Structure 1
C-alpha cells in the first residue's frame, strides 16, 4: 500500500540530482554546449562523453542503470505484449491519455508556460518517442536507447522547473513545485493504468498478466525518473487504487486544458481528409475517457460518430478474439493501427524539429508481420535542455 501522505508531500519535491545540474549550467552559461554533446548521446552502452562538465558526467553515471530490484525478464514479457499491441497502445495514448493529462489543471498550466498552447505535435511526439524507446527490446540494457532518453527527460524537466520558478508567475507555496514528483506519479499512472483501461474500452483484449507486466515497465521507468520507490505502487491493483485517489480526483476544467485539447483534436482531425469524417476523433476520445472529463475539456459531441464508435468497439473486440484464427481479422486490426500511427507520425514530423524514430527491433518485428506503422526510415530523436 502506498503512503498517500508521502505522495501528497511529493507536490513540493522536484528532482535534486537534475535540478542541481541545470542550475549550474544556467549559472555558467553552458547549456548550449552541453546540448550539442548530449544530442549525440543516444545508446545505453555508449560511453559518457568526455567533453562534458564534471557535474553532468557525474549525473549521467549516477542515473545510468535501472534499480537493483528491476526484473528484466518481466520487462521482456512486456516487450512481447507491445509487439502485438503497440499500435493499440499508441491509439489510446493519442486519444485518451493526452486528454486526461490536459484535464489536470496544474500540469496544463506548466505546458502553457513552456510549450505554449498551440503545439500539440511537440507534446505528443515527445511522449510517443519516450514510449517507443521504453518498449524497445532490451530497453534498459546493452543495445537499447532508453536510458539516455530518461536522463535527458529528467534534465528537461529540471530546466522547466528552473525557468518557471524564476519567472515570477508561479506560486510555489500554493501550487507546489512545477513538474513535481506528484505530477510525475500521476503521468505514470495515466500512461500505464489508464492506457490499459482505455484499450479495454475499445474492445481490445489485454490479459491481467499483460497489464501487470506493462505497468511494471512503467514502475521501473518511474524509479529511473527519480520518483521515490516507496511512492510507486508495487502491484497493478495498488496502482489502480492510487489512480482513483490521486489522478482522477485531480481532474477539473481549466482554460489551458480546454485549449490544449482543442489543438490536439484539430491535429488529429487533419489525419482524416475532407468533411466526411468530421467528428470521428472527438467520438473516439469520448469512447475512451470519462464523459465528465470530456465535457470539462469541451470535446464536441457527435451522436452519429459516437454510435459508430460504440459499435466499432464491439466489432473490434470480436475481431481481437478471432485474431488467432482469422487472417482476415488480423489484417483488419493491423491495417487500422497502421493507418492511425502511420498518419500521426507523418503529421507530427512534417516540418517539426522533433523527429519520431521506431527502435530497429520493433520495426523489424512489425515488418516481419506485415506492419510497420511509420513507413519511413528510422531517424534519431533529439532532446534539448531548455532554460
Structure 2
C-alpha cells in the first residue's frame, strides 16, 4: 500500500461498516429483540456447539455465514503459532495490555467512539473482553473443534455493529465528515496495533521474538481479521508489508485528544488498583512508557516516574543480555510474568469491577503454562 492508490484504498475503508453484522443489528432493533438474543448468545461459547434454535432467522443465518475461516487460511500455519503462545503468550498479553491498549487511545477518532459508548468506556470491561479474545486465539486449534474463538469473533462483530448503529444515530457523529464509527479502517488499524505493534513492543521490552514467530503471530491475526469482517485484500500478506502499512498509515493517525487522555488515565488507574499498596506506584506508567513511543506517552499524558523508569529500563537491558546468551533467567522475566498474571487472571474480580466473570484459558495452554510455572490462573479445583 505504498502507492497513492493503496492509500486511497485505505482511506475508502473509513466509510465501510460490516454488511453482515450491521444487517443483523438493524433487524433486531426493528423487532425489539436485542435483549432476548443477548441472553441466548451468552450461552453460545464453543466452536462446535450447535447454533441455538431459539434465535431470529437473521441471527441464525449470520452465525452460519460466519462460522468458518476464509478459504485461503492455512490452518497448519495457524497451529504453528501455538508454540510461540506456549513460550511467550503471557508476555504477549502483558505487552498488549501495557502498549497496544494505550496505542489504540492514541487514535483520536476511535477514542471518540469509545467515549461516546458508555459500555466501551469502561477499562475493566474492555480489558477483560480483550484478554479473553486473545486467550481464545491462543488455543492449539483456535478455529477448530473444542475451542471458543469462533463464537467470540461472531459476538465481537455484533457488538461493533451495535456500536455503529447507535453512535451513528446519536446525533453526535457526522458520518460524512468522520466516516463510519468503528469502520473497517479502524478495524484494520486495531489489527495492526494488536499484531505488528505487539511484536515491536515485546522486542522493546527485551523479549526475543524470531522472524518465524513474528510471521506466524501476524498470520493468525490476519485470518482472525478476515473473520472479523475486514476485507482480506486490505490486510497485507506478509509481516514486512504489514509493518510498512502500520508505519505509513496507522501510526500517522496518532495524535493527542481529550478522549485519549481520559481513556488512558482510566486504564492506568485500573492497573495501579490491581497492584496492592503504594510501594509500586509509578511502575505501571514506567512499563507503558517502555512499550509505547515517548511521543505517544506524552500525547496521552502518561506520568513520568524517574526512579521506576530507570528500574524498568535496567531490567530490559538485563533481559536483552540474557536473551542473547540464551539464558532465560526466571529473575529477569519475573516482572513480565507477574504483569501477565495480574492482567490475565490474578485480579479477575478487579478486571470485571466486582462481577463474577472469569477469564478462560484454553485447557492445553493452561496445562503447559502451569508446567512452566507461568500460568496466570490457578488450576481449577474439582468439587
Residue 13 of structure 2: aligned partner: 10
Q: Is the 8 A contact 1:118 1:263 kept in 2?
A: no
Deviates most, 226-235 or 335-344: 335-344
Other structure's SS at 1:375 match: coil
Q: Is the 8 A contact 1:342 1:373 kept in 2?
A: yes
Matched, 1:360 2:363: yes
Residue 230 of structure 1: aligned partner: 233
What are the Cα deviations for residues 245-301 of structure 1, in whole angstroms up to 9, with x where unaligned?
A: 111010011111001101111111123333322211111111111111111000111
Residue 339 of structure 1: aligned partner: 338
Residue 24 of structure 2: aligned partner: 21
Other structure's SS at 1:270 match: helix
What are the Cα deviations for residues 77-133 of structure 1, in whole angstroms up to 9, with x where unaligned?
A: 111101100111111111111110001011111111113686211111111111110
Aligned equivalents of 2:249, 2:196: Cα separation in 1: 13
Q: Is the 8 A contact 2:125 2:352 kept in 1?
A: no
Matched, 1:253 2:251: no
Matched, 1:83 2:86: yes
Other structure's SS at 2:139 match: coil
Residue 141 of structure 2: aligned partner: 138
**Alpha carbons of structure 1 residues 354 and 252: separation in structure 2 relative to 1, 3 Å:** farther
Q: Is the 8 A contact 2:47 2:147 kept in 1?
A: yes
State the TM-score, normalized to the length of structure 2. 0.94
Q: Is the 8 A contact 2:318 2:332 kept in 1?
A: no
Q: Select the residue among 222, 228, 242 that pairs with 1:219.
A: 222
Residue 273 of structure 2: aligned partner: 270
Aligned equivalents of 2:120, 2:299: Cα separation in 1: 17
Other structure's SS at 1:157 match: helix
Aligned equivalents of 1:118, 1:41: Cα separation in 2: 25
Coordinate RMSD, CA, aligned: 1.7
- What displacement does 1:333 show? 5.2
Report 1:1-387 matches (<5 A).
Answer: 1=1, 3-115=6-118, 119-322=122-325, 329=329, 331-332=330-331, 335-344=334-343, 345=345, 346=347, 347-349=350-352, 351-352=354-355, 354-375=357-378, 377=380
Q: Figure out how many residues of one structure are paired with residues of the other and give that number.
A: 374
Other structure's SS at 2:81 match: helix
Q: Is the 8 A contact 1:15 1:226 kept in 2?
A: yes
Other structure's SS at 2:274 match: coil
Q: Is the 8 A contact 2:264 2:300 kept in 1?
A: yes
Residue 383 of structure 1: aligned partner: none
Aligned equivalents of 1:217, 1:340: Cα separation in 2: 24
- What displacement does 1:349 show? 3.6
State the TM-score, normalized to the length of structure 1. 0.93
Q: Is the 8 A contact 2:90 2:341 kept in 1?
A: no
**Alpha carbons of structure 1 residues 311 and 335: separation in structure 2 relative to 1, 3 Å:** closer
